[in-house]
Structure 1
Amino acid sequence: MTILFLMIAYLLGSIPSGLWIGQIFFKKNLREYGSGNTGTTNTFRILGPKAGCIVFLMDFFKGSLAVWLPMIFHVHGLSPIVFGLFAVLGHTFPIFAEFKGGKAVATSAGMLMSFSPVYGLFLLVVFSTTLFLTSIVSLSSVVAATFAILTVILFPAVHFILPKYDLIFTLVILFLGCFVIVRHKDNIKRIQEKRENLVPFGLNITQQIKK
């Protein structure tokens, strides 16, 4: 039963929301535009805010639903966060889209908000603050991932937000934090070169060249 629901979580995560919405409703393959990524940010940029919001919500709830699955169907013996992790892996390496997917941010956010909502809100504040200061989604994702790596170790030690250590949760967050950073290596390079894409608001404190 556990293996079956892990497979379901992966398949759920594998639904390529941005790719399918672009192809069905806009007759566009997101891989041929912008960054070539099929996630939320490129969808916003290429297909517009309405499509971007829909893709974000779909990707977000893939992570949430994967965490809820073992709770709804009373699957015991494995932490729900592991099912969320399988959804994130499905989103990043989707079997329905040649194993070429998004960068794990939206689905990871959905997973966290369902499993540990206060901690998820803390990282959302980190992401939002960084986005306002820098106008860069990719950098905001990397900063939030870095904070996740640091705080999942620090917070339980001081009993703040995370009251105690949960080994599985800690390992999953450490893995996903590093994973998100690695997935953004090309973005980090563009940020260093002052040519990363910007959102149309915020302070742009890194002084990227506006296109």
Structure 2
Amino acid sequence: MTYILIVLLAYLIGSVPFGLLVGKIGYKTDIREHGSGNLGGTNTFRVLGKKAGIIVTLGDIFKGTLATLLPFIFSLTEINPLIIGVFAVIGHMYPVFARFKGGKAVATSGGMLLGLSPILFGIILLSFIITLYLSKYVSLSSMITGIIAIIASVFIQDYGLVIVTGILTLFIFYRHRSNIKRILNKTEPKISWM
């Protein structure tokens, strides 16, 4: 019963729609009605600006971290924290508090890895920044970072982590289907560093 409650709590934490909350409370704007309609940090940056985008991105990261730490918080060390973290990612993508239409799993997946392995999180964060600087595509950077996370997990020799990062990367690619088409058609928006 305790395990079910932990899984449910992780899903509910992941379901907290920071993009929706920040938009409605701080800007009187429902970001689902603007830009890509996505609840994640990227759309928040585009619709509401840098300050809101940073707040939403950090919120999405740390809900993944918090969920991953639940087994430690409740002294249930026999539960693999990766499994619990995945339910937060699912909650982020399909949030019960936002009609099951959420973000694309990138920040929350990263937060999950932060809770488990800060070193791995540092690697993927650096790879994301470098790829974003070179390509100016957030979506492409997110997908490449997922692949790098899998490779890094292999080098760490944590095969449970390899499996989970593989699953998360599949989630990320699936959620970026429309972005892939736009990249191929050269219609995907690029960010500006100015």
TM, length-normalised to structure 2: 0.94
Cα distance in structure 2, aligned partners of 1:186 and 1:149 = 23
Aligned residue number for residue 113 of structure 2: 112
Higher helix share: 2
| Percentage of pairs with the same residue | 48
Aligned partner of 1:132 in structure 2 is 133
Q: Which residue of 2 aligns with 1:85?
A: 86
Structure 2: unaligned runs, 5 residues or longer: none
Rg larger in structure: 1
Q: Secondary structure at the match of 1:188?
A: helix
The answer to whether the Cα contact below 8 Å between 1:149 and 1:178 also exists between their aligned partners in 2 is no
Q: How far has the Cα of 1:116 moved from its partner?
A: 1.2
Provide structure 1 residue ranges, at least 5 long, that are not aligned to the other structure: 156-161, 203-211
1:192 aligns with 2:168: no
Q: Residue in 1 aligned with 2:159? A: 166
The total of aligned residue pairs comes to: 193
User: What per-residue deviation string (whole Å, max 9, x for no partner) do you get for residues 18-77 of structure 1?
Assistant: 012212221211111111101000001001111111101111110011111111110132
Report whether the alignment pairs 1:62 with 2:66: no
CA contact (8 A) 2:93 2:105 kept: yes
Aligned-pair distance for 1:82? 1.2
Q: Secondary structure at the match of 1:46?
A: helix
Runs of 4+ in structure 1 off by over 4 angstroms are none
Shift in Å, 1:147: 2.0
Does structure 1 retain, via aligned residues, the 8 Å contact 2:153–2:159?
Answer: no
Distance 1:194 1:165 in 2: 37
Does the CA contact (< 8 Å) of 1:30 and 1:37 recur in 2? yes
In structure 1, the residue corresponding to 2:193 is in which secondary structure?
coil
2:68 touches 2:116 (CA, 8 Å); kept in 1? yes
